[in-house]
Structure 1
Amino acid sequence: MQWYSHLYVGKKAKRHRYAIIQGIREEKLQPEVYVITSPQNGENLCDIYPSAMLLVPSEKKKERMILGIAVTYWEALEVVRGMVDDLYQKTGEVSAASFARFTGYDVW
């Protein structure tokens, strides 16, 4: 698991940013915490998962980059909206390929 160098953090998550990151690294169960990750296919811009999904043995094996963290699913959607806004302002387009270049991960 890798962490995006410019991690996106929701407003509620910002208050507990370091505790959330540490909890994910230490594989602790954190109810209501969501992670925004690199997509598992080339069609999506990103994936949103409850942080508990990272504790499932089959999911631990998958190589992914954590792009953002949020408290509640709705906040995760707001974080993704902010990511897409940033992408459009910097590249002038919204696509999986431009998002991959923007964040520095390989979608394929």
Structure 2
Amino acid sequence: MKSDHNIKWYRNLYWGEKAGQQKRAVLDGFLDGAAHPRLYLIALPSNGKNLLDIFPQPVLLQEHYRKSELYAVGVSVGKTEAMRLAGQIVMDAYRTTGTTDIQTFLGDDYSDAPDELQDSWREW
């Protein structure tokens, strides 16, 4: 089942260690419409005060988030992995640019489907 979320996926998606070991299953968990409490999405902030937003996947099933446009930059399995991954993204931005401006650091290279699913996405 194709997700009805309006998620744009960063082409160089950051992966938590556990998530990276099971990429296909993790991405399917974000797209299948079922709740997967251990999955987390790291996205560009929805307001100007945050560096990043971290969403447990079940929260994304709420109507508000289904209608919101999200820019996914990382995925993880577990809350601790999500926090570490968000920290890594912030540190990468700081080391590269000297600032914590994540959006400028990452640029605008997003697509409608994660690169890892491009072939199977076309089948849907």
| Structure 1, unpaired ranges of 5+ | none
User: What is aligned with 1:10?
Assistant: 16
Residue 14 of structure 2 aligns with an amino acid whose one-letter code is: Y
Instruction: State the TM-score, normalized to the length of structure 1.
Output: 0.87
1:45-77 deviation line (CA, Å, top 9, x unaligned): 110110111111121000111111111111101
Residue 107 of structure 2 aligns with an amino acid whose one-letter code is: G
Q: Residues 1-108 of structure 1 correspond to what in structure 2 (within 5 A)?
A: 1-94=7-100, 98-104=101-107
Instruction: State the TM-score, normalized to the length of structure 2.
Output: 0.77
The percent of aligned pairs where both chains have the same amino acid is: 34
User: 1:103, 1:62 → 2: CA distance?
Assistant: 20
User: 1:25, 1:38 → 2: CA distance?
Assistant: 19
User: 2:98, 2:64 → 1: CA distance?
Assistant: 37
| Structure 2, unpaired ranges of 5+ | 1-6, 109-124
User: 2:35, 2:16 → 1: CA distance?
Assistant: 19
**Secondary structure of 1:64's match?**
strand
Aligned length: 102
**Displaced runs of 4+ in structure 1, greater than 6 A?**
none
User: 1:46, 1:26 → 2: CA distance?
Assistant: 24
Residue 77 of structure 2 aligns with an amino acid whose one-letter code is: V
Moved more, 64-73 or 16-25: 16-25
1:6-38 deviation line (CA, Å, top 9, x unaligned): 111111111111111122122222121111111
RMSD: 1.2
User: 1:6, 1:74 → 2: CA distance?
Assistant: 21
